Amino acid sequence: MGAQTVVADVADEIARRVATGEYAPGDLIPSVRQVAEEFGMNRATAQLVLGRLESYGFVDAHRGRGFTVRDVRLAGGVDVYRRLFRLSMPAPELAAEMFRNILIVERAIVLEALLDYTESERAIPSQELHATVDELETLARATEPDHVRLLELEIGLVRTLLSELGHSMQRAVLNSVGETLFEVPEAVDAFFAASADLHVLVWRALLAVWESETGPSEAQLSLFEDLFGMYHDKVEARFAELTGLAVESGALASDSGTQSHAATA
């Protein structure tokens, strides 16, 4: 194991203690000597570990005092949040709370993109969108669908819509959300709480709307928003399951019921 790998692994372990609350904001973290002793490394390597934690944004250096824990939840940016989420996985309740907030942001961006594009003049070539949805369908039919690739394709579709709409800031945030999700396998799998076939069904329905002359009615748009909310509730409940949290009976709707609603829409 190389020195850089050791530095990264130990920095992640100390950052995990910050993420899970073992070290509270304002606490002094272990000194160079203490880190070296605990993890069996020389002091020069331990100093690199603390420097990396500072670069992560997890600690602040104070001359003569050492390093203190930053209030990363209050002051951290998107990159800090992404690292926090990954490192919070050993604390399921904390991870679930963070995932819920990720879903709120993702849902708002995606729903806005879909609705705004539906109301726009829809300039993206239809064949371009169909080609991606065709690939989604091929992957969904596999015995063991590749959830990472499926989610990459779906994020790519939304990114394309946002680019066409000129929503550059939303696109940047969506990209950060994707990076956050892809670092946590449970988060990716949770997005397929309903079968991958349902995802294809929804995209096919959207394509049909975008290619129609009349567009959706107000009732259809309202139903779509309701279904979108139901889907995210299901994703959140699935993540709780995958991370070991108890799920109340009835929290997970059946795939068949959800698919039935989607087909009706």
pLDDT by residue (tens digit) across 151-181? 999 999 999 999 999 999 999 999 999 999 9
Reduced to 3 states, what is the DSSP secondary structure of residue 248? coil
**How many structural domains are present in the chain?**
2
Q: Give the Cα-Cα-Cα angle 36, 40, 42 (nearest 5 degrees).
A: 50
User: Phi, psi (5° rounding) for residue 216?
Assistant: -75, 155
Last residue of some domain: 27, 55, 75? 75
Are 215 and 251 found together in one domain? yes
- Judgement on whether residues 168 and 235 belong to the same structural domain of the protein: yes
Please write the tens of the pLDDT for every residue from 107-162.
999 999 999 999 998 899 999 999 999 999 999 999 999 999 999 999 999 999 99
Task: Give residues with Cβ within 8 angstroms of 151, minimum separation 6.
Answer: 178, 181, 182, 188, 191
With H, G, I as helix, E, B as strand and everything else as coil, classify residue 237: helix
Does residue 69 share a domain with residue 107?
Answer: no
Same domain (yes/no): 134, 22? no
Q: How many CA atoms lie within 13 A of 152 on its CB side?
A: 9
Comparing CA positions, the residue from 157, 250, 141, 249 lying closest to residue 198 is 141
Query: 30, 57, 75 — which closes off a domain?
Result: 75
pTM for the full model? 0.84
Q: What is the domain extent for residue 53?
A: 3-75
Q: Which of 31, 54, 75 is the last residue of a domain?
A: 75
220 and 144 inside one domain? yes
